[in-house]
Amino acid sequence: MLRASQFSTLLFLALRITVLSPLTAGQSFNPTWFPDWDSTNQVLFFGRGSPSPIVRAYVDAHQRGADIELSKDFPGIQSAYIDNLAAGPDGTTFIAVTLNFGDHNMRELVLTYDSTGQLLKTWDPAPQYIEAMAYSKDDDALFVLGGRDLPPGPYAPTYPLLIEYRRDGRIMKTMAPVGILKERENSFNLGGQNGEPLLRVTKDRIYFYASTNREAVVCDRDGVVLAYRSFSDAVEKISTEDGYHLVQTHQSDFAENGDLVAELLLWNDSTNNYVMEVVRLSMKSGEAVSVHKDSNSGRLWFVGMKDDQYLYLEHLEGGQNLYTQSAAGQEPKLLITEPIN
């Protein structure tokens, strides 16, 4: 059975696919599936949520390593759902995936691939679910965010949300008790309107986003909570201006100072018009500021924060262009003239 967060992501992808073309396993493709930005290591992935288990990664407009095809390593699977992706050292890639072998045999695994697309390691993170993950080169460790599939008990309010793993799957450190979130183990259930869980690791901070109540948390590297804020009210306020209402939250990311940045899909019933608005939510004040707003033509999609600039994708017939925007209100500028293909 799919977790609620996976089901919500599938619904989200089904709506967004109207402007993105699906991939076909085993074929050369332009990266036109759902983009996934690893802001910790500044790598752009394609393949998350795809019905065809192929992963491709880019640094700027240049492909990072070879394509990864999960079907060649798991030939008996009926389907594979890529939950999360993270860039590792020396061109490696970590993939959190749910594999369906049929007859109700589902396995959630973490896979490590090298830069040539060869499978190096497989390990099971159970009982923890992986809602988001990020590799830190400072620790040579993979940080994983998620709840746990455990029965109720005295440990329920205290089990860790964050686990620091060695690359081989051994636990190094556990952090951030689930009780810091309003809904505890249900804090990652919703996608769609509230967006997807998010994790970013820097040299001295850990940032994560729990989608159910739009909770953003800042921790030190030992998991001690330094700041907490729910952005539900701020998102509701800015998304209902001028007769609009929120339909979806697309990509989101943390800025270097801990602010949450998210792209909102808004609909106006009276004008039958929808817009894409990128907003920056202040961790200090809780206020929302519009960064970029435009009628949605499928042109620019917010991806994440690149060196504290706003990164966008432009969908083209033969590939995709990258744009950056340095400050709110400024027009995005083409990052590299060479399109991603």
Instruction: Give residue 33's pLDDT.
Output: 59
Instruction: Give residue 5's pLDDT.
Output: 43
- Pick from 273, 274, 253: which is nearest to 263 by CA? 253
* Tokens of residue 223, six digits: 């998991």
Instruction: Give residue 32's pLDDT.
Output: 45
Q: How many angstroms separate the CA atoms of 188 and 196, rounded?
A: 8
Residues of the chain with pLDDT under 70: 1-33, 50-52, 150-157, 190-191, 296-298, 317-318, 337-339, 341
Burial class (CB in 10 A: 0-12, 13-18, 19+), 212: buried
Distance of CA 334 to the CA centre of its chain: 23
Model-level pTM greater than 0.85?
A: yes
Instruction: Give residue 317's pLDDT.
Output: 67
Instruction: Give residue 150's pLDDT.
Output: 65
Tens of pLDDT, residues 241-275: 989 999 999 999 999 999 999 999 999 988 888 89
Instruction: Give residue 183's pLDDT.
Output: 82
Strand-by-strand arrangement of the 333-334 sheet: 300-306, 309-316, 319-325, 333-334
DSSP three-state, residue 43: strand
Tens of pLDDT, residues 43-102: 999 988 766 678 999 998 889 999 999 989 998 888 888 999 999 999 999 999 999 988
Residue 307: Cβ within 10 Å count: 10
Q: How many angstroms separate the CA atoms of 57 and 93, rounded?
A: 9
* Tokens of residue 88, six digits: 């590792």
CA distances from 78 to 92, 100, 105, 106, 147 (A): 26, 6, 10, 10, 26
User: Domain-by-domain residue ranges, the chain?
Assistant: 231-341
Strand partners, 15: none
